[in-house]
Amino acid sequence: MIIFDHKPLTIEDVQHIACQKPAVALSDDPAFLQQIARGSQFLQTLLEEDGVIYGVTTGYGDSCTTSIPPQLVADLPRHLYTFHGCGLGNVLSPLQARAVVTARLNSLTRGYSGVSVELLQQLTRLLQEDIMPVIPEEGSVGASGDLTPLSYVAAVLCGEREVFWRGQRRPTAEVFAELGIEPHRLRPKEGLAIMNGTAVMTGLACLAYARADYLSRLATRITAIATLVLDGNAHHFDEALFAVKPHPGQQQIASWLRRDLHAGEPPRNPNRLQDRYSLRCAPHVIGVLQDSLPWLRQFIENELNSANDNPIIDAEGEHVLHGGHFYGGHIAFAMDSLKTAVANIADLLDRQMAQMMDTKFNHGLPANLSGATGERAAINHGFKAVQIGVSAWTAEALKQTMPASVFSRSTECHNQDKVSMGTIAARDCLRALQLTEQVAAAVLLACCQGLELRLRQGDLAEEKIGSELLETLAWVRETSPTLAEDRALENELRQLIEQIQQGSWSLYSDKD
């Protein structure tokens, strides 16, 4: 059970909620509920005293100079989510929508957004019943937060637009009626509190981080197997060697490789002192991602556990604080950086694949790692087309690395004249991850084929291969048998990609 209260959430909490692993609940602690209620009560008091409050008694953005007649104040929040109902592009998956709802709920529980307890209860119920808003992924410039995509969350709370429920896309009103859920009527400031924040980019960033963390480990395991397949030199990962360049993440990757490869043993081919860079420098490439994870976590979790709407409501000090906490610059920078580190992993694995396929570089293995023998070898092409796919996916991943954050566009009558593009950066990062996971699945298949070919040729003895590498081979073979005769590999690749994205295999421990 994960309780939403004042305690901070972790990236892993968001990931687990998105995957529906724990139950969730809103805290029923009286002190917590009282603090939330104070913000809403303070706003109501200001309204009764004819206070001017941005987004409550004024229009939004550049329209802040427009005064709202008192009799229309209650209608303003609905207009906010209504005119923002212009999102386009693909829609977020239910898993991604859960991460978004989680991030928004967690921010509002900080107690500085002036929302009611009833609003938090309605958001919590969406997670409990798995009623996920259908959210178009395009339309946010990342300041004032994720206005357009989050308008779909606001509208769903009020019983409008569409949701995913029990595997179907349905009108929210129908689902609420079936479950006896009363649509919420947004109070003053509540529309702004839901929409004027960074929940979409932050929720997606949490999912991207978790996938990148796993990818770092998987790329290390693939590199270990590729080193055996290519008759490589495990001494490139020597502890004394890495002690003189003390990046801790890089050292961790080298340590995992040493363990996988029994690096203390003499090399099988002592005549070749140095392997090509895609083997020898693998810790240096993967290590950039591994060393980035701590500061990426700091950026993402700070944003996740912040109040990031505008204005901030300080009920205790009786202040309405106007600022720009909706600006998603930290997430934009984190995602722009992460997608570059991830795409470099695709490039590394692509180069390892190229070595394994080419008889000029693979030290005695069949061309294209074909498993066919005898006269049938002439018509079999092994992993030839898979390598072409790897090249295509790698190129597209590398193309995603142009930083989104430098493409700020002045908009909304130049009120939003410097914006973060954080949500675009997060979407780019997820695309780079998807492409790199496709590369990883394909290269992992090729590595397993190469390892079995080495065993078949007598170049390796099974007892000389580490148990965890053999375990990885066994995992892959549950989905994809040895390629002895050409066959279409699409379905097997898709299954492997899904297993990678679910983190299905245990790969190293941080204590190793």
Compute the half-sphere exposure of residue 226: CA atoms within 13 Å on the CB side of its CA. 30
| 392: Cβ contacts below 8 Å, ≥ 6 apart | none
Determine which one of 54, 60, 214, 508 is catalytic. Answer: 54
Single-letter residue type at 493: L
Report which of 23, 33, 451, 378 is spatially closest to residue 229, judged by C-alpha positions: 451
Single-letter residue type at 186: L
Q: What angle do CA 405, 408, 414 make, to 5 degrees?
A: 150
Query: What three-state secondary structure class fits 25?
Result: strand
Other Cβ atoms closer than 10 A to 174 = 13
Does residue 54 carry a catalytic annotation?
Answer: yes
- Alpha-carbon gap, residue 496 to 484, rounded angstroms: 19
Query: With contact defined as beta carbons under 8 Å apart, do 172 and 129 qualify?
Result: no
What is the H or E stretch that residue 470 is in?
helix 467-479
Query: What three-state secondary structure class fits 399?
Result: helix
Q: How far apart, in Å, are the Cα atoms of 68 and each of 89, 192, 209, 357, 459?
A: 33, 15, 42, 69, 80
Helix then strand then coil, in percent of the chain rounded to 5, is 60, 5, 35
Catalytic residues, by residue number, are 54
